[in-house]
Structure formats: structure tokens, C-alpha cells
Structure 1
């Protein structure tokens, strides 16, 4: 069995990257990410991309500095489905935590759907601790193109950053 090692870098996601991110969600999702890039230009959020040498994102995710005072809130974290369980999500989260620290904040927060135990296990391995449950909702585009409201229960998690 041969092993291939690919160098990955983390950088800011750009508007031009969105054409390569269809794996991360529907056109509605990508339109929402485009709106978040406007917030990133204002400094309200960071939106990161993990890229191999080709420069095409294989993971993306945001850090919102306004959602929870005193913390950076990770959200919209996604890794290309074919590359999950390769450590890329860990790289993305660690880079996001470094951005939070660079802002002078010492706490990271996130929410994970209770129906996503795999993601929760990753967050727990990285030191995130559950501190509550809360309902969340967002618009979601179905395979038929119809937009529906997705309602779910999430576990709120946090981590102190050194």
C-alpha cells in the first residue's frame, strides 16, 4: 500500500473559492456563505478554507466574533465528504482557535446537532465540553429545490483556549 502525503494550508476563504465549494452544500448554503464573506470583509467574522497545493478548498468554516460576547463561535464547519476522517477537520478547528486567540479572546464555542454524534466526538476529542442544549433553525434547500425550515436541537459546547 502506497501512502501519499499532501501539504495543506489554511487561509481566508474568498468569493472566488465558492465555485469549488459545491460539495459543502446547496446553492442556498453557498449564497449564505457569500453573505458571511461580506461580514468577513468588515472584520465581524473569519471564514477559513483548508486547501491542498491546488488552492481549491477541501474544508471550510467560520468564526463569528459577535454571536457570543467574549468568545469566537465556530460555525458552518464542513470537510469534503471524500476526505472526512483524515484530520482535516482538526486542522480547520485548530486554525480557527488560533484566529480566536489572535483577537485576544480565550474561549471558543460551537453548537452541534444532537443527530451528529460523529462531529460531537471530534469536538470532545479536541477538548470541547457540553454546557447545554438549545433549539436552532435555519433555511435549507431540499433536493427538489424547495426551501424548508430545518429545526433541530443542538448541544452547546465550549473550550477554554490557552
Structure 2
């Protein structure tokens, strides 16, 4: 006896909303990086409570974050600096990154600032293409580095070169 299963592709549209990321959301953000990264995001939420940064979440109808990222108001004079932008891998290229960046830009405008900046790793052409589609233009390069927790629990230093981009709002 054999069975034949056909698979049909069906498009499903779900509403999403943008809100502040909360400490209670952190367990649901494991997709965004290592445990070290998620702890670092938690630290940034204390800065958000102090008004130094905004940390946003794009959430599903079940209120689960599927894209997250921050805006730092202290990194560059007169600008909001977008950083730690991430979209759940299975949902990339669905418009969530665009929604997150636009919401971050609105937060920057709401603070009375008229420039957004960000850095993207040179070896991440998909992200750079998104930012350029949204109007960001390169103005320089800079090295970046951070510690990442490996699968075996060891800490490894990640060093990279980034393209610096900015956009007038």
C-alpha cells in the first residue's frame, strides 16, 4: 500500500504589532543569538528604562517577538543609532525587518532627531541591501568586536569590519 501526499503552498497573513521589548520577552528571543547575546539584550532593557535607548519588538498576534532591535541615543551626537537588529531566521524576507527599521526611525523622529545611523557587517550583503533600499547610504567603515558564547560554553571573540550607513529623516 502506498500513500501519496500532495503539498500545497498557502499564503497566510498575520497581523503584527511593534511595541517595547520587555524583560519577560527574553526567553522567547533565544532565536536572536547566544545566551550571552540574550543576556546583553536584557542589560540594554535597563538602559531603555533609563531613557538612553529604545528596544523594540515586532510581535505576532500571540505577542511573541519575531524581530527585535534597539535605538541608542548616546552613540552618536544628534542621531539615533540602530543596533542589534534581528529577525527570526524562518521569517526573514517577509517585511519584518522593514517594519522594525521604520518603527525605530519613528522613535528617533519622536525624540526630535533627524538622522539615523547603523553599522552592518561587510559579510552581510542581504542586510546591507535592505538598509540601502530603505534609504541608508554608506559613509565609512569601522571595526567591531564582541564576545560570543560557543556551543561548548567557551567564550570566543568575534571581530569584523562594518560599513557605516546613515539616513536623514
After TM superposition, the score normalised by the length of structure 1 is 0.98
Give deviations 1:71-127, integer Å, cap 9, x for gaps: 000000000000000000000000000000000000000000001011000000000
SS state at 1:104 partner: coil
Q: Which residue of 2 is the match for residue 82 of structure 1?
A: 90
Runs of 4+ in 1 over 4 A off after TM superposition: none
Q: Using the TM superposition, give the Cα deviation of residue 148 of structure 1 relative to its aligned residue in structure 2, in angstroms.
A: 1.3
Distance 1:152 1:3 in 2: 37
Distance 1:2 1:122 in 2: 26
Distance 2:11 2:158 in 1: 40
Distance 1:122 1:101 in 2: 20
Distance 1:93 1:147 in 2: 30
SS state at 1:3 partner: coil
Q: 1:35-114 maps to which residues of 2 (within 5 A)?
A: 35-114=43-122
Q: Which residue of 2 is the match for residue 12 of structure 1?
A: 20
Q: Which residue of 2 is the match for residue 3 of structure 1?
A: 11
Q: Structure 1 regions of 5+ residues with no counterpart?
A: none
Q: Which residue of 1 is the match for residue 34 of structure 2?
A: 26
Matching residue within 159, 162, 169 for 1:154:
162
SS state at 2:65 partner: coil
SS state at 1:67 partner: coil
How many residue pairs were aligned?
161
Q: Structure 2 regions of 5+ residues with no counterpart?
A: 1-8
Moved more, 39-48 or 147-156: 147-156
SS state at 1:70 partner: coil
Q: Which residue of 2 is the match for residue 117 of structure 1?
A: 125
Q: Which residue of 2 is the match for residue 126 of structure 1?
A: 134
After TM superposition, the score normalised by the length of structure 2 is 0.94
Moved more, 144-153 or 38-47: 144-153
Distance 1:158 1:140 in 2: 27
SS state at 2:42 partner: helix
Please tell me the root mean square deviation across aligned C-alpha atoms, in Å. 0.7
